[in-house]
Amino acid sequence: MRLLCNGRRMPWKRRRIISFVLTRNKPCDTIFGTQHADATRGCWRRISGASRLDANRTDIDRADGNRSDVTWLDVPADNLLFSGLHGGDASPVKLAIVHDWLTGMRGGETCLERICRRFPDARLFTLVHRRGSVSPTIEQTSITTSFLQRLPGAQRHYRYLLPLMPRAIESLVIPADVDVVLSFSHAVAKAVRPPAGVPHVCYCFTPMRYVWHLRGEYFAVPGSVEGGIGLAGRLVRAPWSAARNLLLDRIRQWDAATHSRVTQFVAASQTVRQRIAECYGREAELVFPPVDTDFYTPGAGEREDFYLCVSALVPYKRLDLAIQACNQLGRRLIVIGSGPERRRLQRLAGHTVCMLGWQPREVIRDHLRRCRALLFPGHEDFGIVPVEAQACGAPVIALGRGGATETVLPCSRESPGTGVFFNTPTSAALAAAIVSFEQNAHRFVPTLARRQAERFAAVHFEKRLVRILERVVAQGTSCTPLPDC
């Protein structure tokens, strides 16, 4: 590689700039772990000295005295196929991203943020967008919304628009000049109509839970958890339940019929992979969601005598089990999160339970570093919070179903672990698991928890998902699956 400028050795400041560019612009066989054809290797690439820098370019102006100077670098052509990953200007891939809705930063938006950062020129399509509700990286993307955006109150009460969502997602028009469509779907995004001949990769958090697997949990009657709603209540709710189930059955039929619009499914966990096979009869590759293990790290202080829940306050998360178990045992419990269940859970909470509401992630990290253990009573498809807890060295007490069984290592008499499971979703079973944990706390190893969390670091998510996109673009609509993670 030549580091010359107009026949002379390049000034030291520009050499530092070029070193920075090349560090970010590693060949694709390093980034993706794959090899490309040699036919285009050794091509020349023309880059402006400041094309990769921020708006402040004073150092370059001082170093060269002439912004029109151009450096020619001998860069392998491997850098060109997905140069859009790094903001390159040499035929970057044209990516269209589809997301169900943009109304807050949750696990799905964390995945989306990583891809938006890697593909800053991608266009983003969604049903509804509440401005300012997601990270600046996502907000700065070119966002197109559906007709639902124009309905009064849709940005806050979008869940009630479920009957309109199939039509809304199909109304989104993806430009015909894109190279690939990537959807992040837990509802209807996977049913977007890609342009003819354009492959569609769906990163599936789960097939729609409320129409396939968890209808009862999503539409649970609050009173039923606390002893029943009575005959009158059941008579009033019966007609509504019948109409609701009819609607959900029709949406399930539509959801099953539209899987053919997806070229390649990618599952967020083995649990989701099995659901995709059950619901759609399709195979899926496995890419775990990203966990920010650089941010979530162990603290220096001692652990304190309280348990912790970090969750949206919605019925299927089963925070009521954690509250009831701690009420029964007289244990301190701190709940971080907000949602429609807050009032009911506050009424259920005893004097040892403190509900903090929504908190920034710095506060969450602080509590994960100090808590006795994380309680995770819901049946989740993956569950990022238990991995964040382990990244901070915290034990996890979780329901032994779903994604937690893939991320938490149960302790036993023979070997140490990072958590303990309870198998029945009842407060009594959770209380028994808490007592068992307290009796065997010496078997939980914080360093083992940290190593387990690092398996799910964000770099692995980005690398593997981009490899899949690269392969799908190269092969079109016929894809050869990668081996499992």
- What pTM, to 2 d.p., does this model score? 0.73
Spatial contact of 100 and 108, defined as CB atoms under 8 Å apart: yes
Q: Per-residue pLDDT averaged across 157-177, rounded?
A: 93
Given pLDDT bands bounded at 50, 70 and 90, which one contains residue 220? low
Domain over 307-454 is classified CATH 3.40.50.2000: yes
Q: Determine what percent of the chain is predicted with pLDDT higher than 90.
A: 60
Average pLDDT, the chain: 80
- The average pLDDT across 355-366 equals 94
| DSSP character at residue 417 | B
CA atoms of 333 and 310, how far apart (whole Å): 11
Arithmetic mean of pLDDT, 109-116: 94
Between 325 and 83, where is the model more confident?
325
Give the residue from 417, 415, 414 showing the smallest Cα distance to 404: 417
Neighbours of 288 (CB within 10 A): 22
Is the pLDDT assigned to residue 26 strictly greater than 70? no
- Residue 212's pLDDT band, with cuts at 50, 70 and 90, is confident
Which residues in 223-247 are b (16+ Cβ under 10 Å) and which e? eebeeeeeeeeeeeeeeeeeeeeee
DSSP 106-129: SHHHHHHHHHHHH-TT-EEEES-B
User: Once rounded to an integer, what is the mean pLDDT over residues 99-116?
Assistant: 92
Does residue 378 carry a pLDDT above 60? yes
Burial of residue 361, with CB atoms counted within 10 A of its CB: 0-12 exposed, 13-18 middle, 19 or more buried: middle
CATH 3.40.50.2000 segments of the chain: 95-290+458-475, 307-454
DSSP 190-242: GG--PPTT--EEEEES-S-HHHHT-HHHHT--HHHHTT--HHHHHHHHHHHHH
Q: What is the largest CA-CA distance in the chain?
A: 90
Q: For residues 14-19, give the mean pLDDT.
A: 42
Position 273 pLDDT exceeds 80: yes
Give yes or no for residue 80 having a pLDDT over 70.
no
pLDDT at position 55 = 36
Q: Residue 73: in which H helix or E strand, if any?
A: strand 70-74
The tens digit of pLDDT for each residue in 309-322 reads: 999 898 889 999 99
Q: What is the pLDDT of residue 74?
A: 33
Which has more confidence, 444 or 11?
A: 444
Number of Cβ atoms within 10 Å of the Cβ of 357: 11
pLDDT at 111 over 50: yes
Residue 65: pLDDT band (50, 70, 90) is very low
Pick the CATH number of 95-290+458-475 from 3.40.630.30, 3.40.50.2000, 3.30.360.10, 1.10.3470.10: 3.40.50.2000
| Whether residue 223 has pLDDT greater than 50 | no
Q: Please tell me whether residue 341 adopts helix, strand or coil conformation.
A: coil
pLDDT for residue 28: 36
Taking residues 166-184, report their average pLDDT. Answer: 96
- Give the Cα separation of 131 and 139 in Å (integer): 7
| Sequence-ordered list of residues with C-beta below 8 angstroms from that of 106, at least 6 positions apart, any chain | 312
